[in-house]
Chains A and B, each alone.
Chain A
């Protein structure tokens, strides 16, 4: 039955008390959109693909992401120099052989930027996936199991949520005396999962009593089945948002840790490039590109995730979409 909503309607998908909070972190607070209402599984996937194609922000974000993935997968195709080899002239400006010049140690900056893409992307994807999985398991379990389980899991989540993430990361990383890529993934995941766990739990709670679940229960399906087959697909949009958010955090957190020297300074990554550049006072010595370019890459990759996230928010909450003006069709004053 096609029902028309009255113009404007009263309120979009329920806010469930969650608000977008800028959380302290290496990039002045990230805008994390509140969870949108879930739509049932397969229909939402189809809707999503259609929506992505028509939404400008999503297309740009996706395009950037794909670009970075390609660069990460095939760095050798684009950059022909060895990023770590300190064989070139030191601190050269940009030229035909060295598109972005060389570092104070004689490494080709362009090669470093290209090869540095892979570790960053690995961390982003690694954290995005694992934080989302953990958040989903804990959030949904807490919501579905209820009672004391819920109390305990929620308490752990909330406590971890409140303890400031970046300082904690610094403290942990300092005790480890530097962290490799794998360790970075683990540590950033540990610090990030709690935020999305809370959102997922809230949504799972609101879904818990919906009719289609009641039907499954009456059919006699077991809890695990219900959780995996019925609940989780409905939460797709929130899961995607969670992945994007955590990936974004990961890029910024890990780059920041590397910048202050708590990553592994011997790996080639955007963050470590900035670390060395700062150490060698790149600005004073006129090697501005050494600092500018890796930073721009971080912004670009971060923007890709953030734009996709924002676009998803618009898709879930149509009220936020750019307003299409009907000026051409409006009737002029009569009489």
Chain B
């Protein structure tokens, strides 16, 4: 219980740090670019939104401390103001909420898939060591992990989108279609998601394979695995029940954490494919100097990471009997 409280305290602290960063950064930058933009777009903002933005960026006549407090208050009540330039006048909250499902769908599902596949490949790769394949595969996996997302995305667009014309590579769905739960629409969504998902899968799976392989190798050297062999247990049972079950524990923590990075992690993929998720929005906001939107997204991404870490701590506690109510 005390552990949980400490963790929550840590998260609160981190959130606060992110908020404060968000508050300080625009004020540090030379030239107050924020002020210029806001002055330009004053007209399109509603009065409440204007107040929020002013508190955030230091316009107006309050001193810095009261600006800070009103800023914190606004965040606590989810008042992020309106978008300045991306979709002028539309509330930031609305824009963000529209984008979240796309990112969660694409990146979330692909991360889960990459983890499952990568872990399985890692398990088998560790179990079958010593072959000729074993000296070539790991370096290949290593190289897979350094491929930049965005570049791979471009290459896949070149091959499958432009040259072969198998898949579309812009946006989340064909904009001439009406969104809804019709088969046609869903099919179209999936069609658009295949290339970005594939890109993400290839670039992320290498890490999972390598981490699982390495923990498996260390685990396979453990005495209890040797004991399992001595008991004459069938190979598959040893591999899964004795080795993998122990090896996977540290990797699950990593997995849970990486889920947190889902929200912010695929920024470049969304950018390359014009896929309108959270990452794409962040870059659009950056390019348009849409500060309120930018800040809200940054906070969202940070909060998502924290939630994921919390979940991963809980998962570890539940899965490892040694931490579960240990004496």
Contacts and interface: CB of A to CB of B under 8 A. Distances in A.
A163 B302 contact: yes
A56 B297 CA distance: 44
B139 interface: yes
Interface in B118-136: 129-130, 134-135
Interface string A293-335: 0010011001101110010010001011011010000000000
A31 B207 contact: yes
Given A21-B258, A23-B261, A27-B148, A295 B154 contact: yes
B142 A303 contact: yes
Interface in A234-257: 248, 252, 255-256
A259 B301 contact: no
B69 interface: no
A325 to B, nearest CB: 5
Given A11-B222, A167-B282, A20 B214 contact: yes
Interface string A13-40: 0010001111111111111011000000
Interface in B218-232: 218, 221-223, 226
B142 A171 contact: no
Nearest to A284: B162
A303 B217 contact: no
A175 B29 contact: yes
A291 B155 contact: yes
Interface centre among B22, B154, B215, B221 (most CB of A within 10 A): B154
Contact of B264 (A19, A166, A307): A166
B142 A310 contact: yes
Contact of B29 (A10, A33, A176, A320): A176
B59 interface: no
A73 interface: no
Contact of A163 (B10, B17, B149, B208): B17
Contacts of A175: 25-26, 28-29, 33
A154 B290 CA distance: 34
A167 B143 contact: no
Contact of B145 (A158, A295, A306): A306
Contact of B154 (A261, A262, A283): A283
B158 interface: yes
B158 A171 contact: no
Contacts of B154: 274, 278, 283, 291, 295
B267 A167 contact: yes
Contacts of B66: none
Contacts of B297: 167
B315 interface: no
A164 B267 CA distance: 12
A22 B211 CA distance: 9
Contacts of A60: 139
B254 to A, nearest CB: 4
B151 A163 contact: no
Contact of B149 (A22, A28, A162): A28
B185 to A, nearest CB: 28
A295 B148 contact: yes
Contacts of B282: 167, 170
A56 B138 CA distance: 12
Nearest to A7: B226
A27 B203 contact: yes
Interface string B141-163: 11101111111101101100010
Contact of A20 (B147, B157, B211, B268): B211
Interface of B: 10, 13-14, 17-18, 21-22, 25-26, 28-29, 33, 114, 129-130, 134-135, 138-139, 141-143, 145-152, 154-155, 157-158, 162, 200, 202-208, 210-211, 214-215, 217-218, 221-223, 226, 250-251, 253-254, 257-258, 260-262, 264-265, 267-268, 271-272, 282-283, 286-287, 289, 294-295, 297-298, 301-302, 305-306, 309
Given A29-B145, A313-B214, 20 more contacts: A8-B221, A9-B221, A11-B221, A19-B211, A24-B261, A24-B262, A29-B203, A57-B142, A60-B139, A159-B14, A159-B17, A164-B301, A175-B29, A175-B33, A274-B150, A274-B151, A284-B162, A302-B147, A302-B148, A310-B139
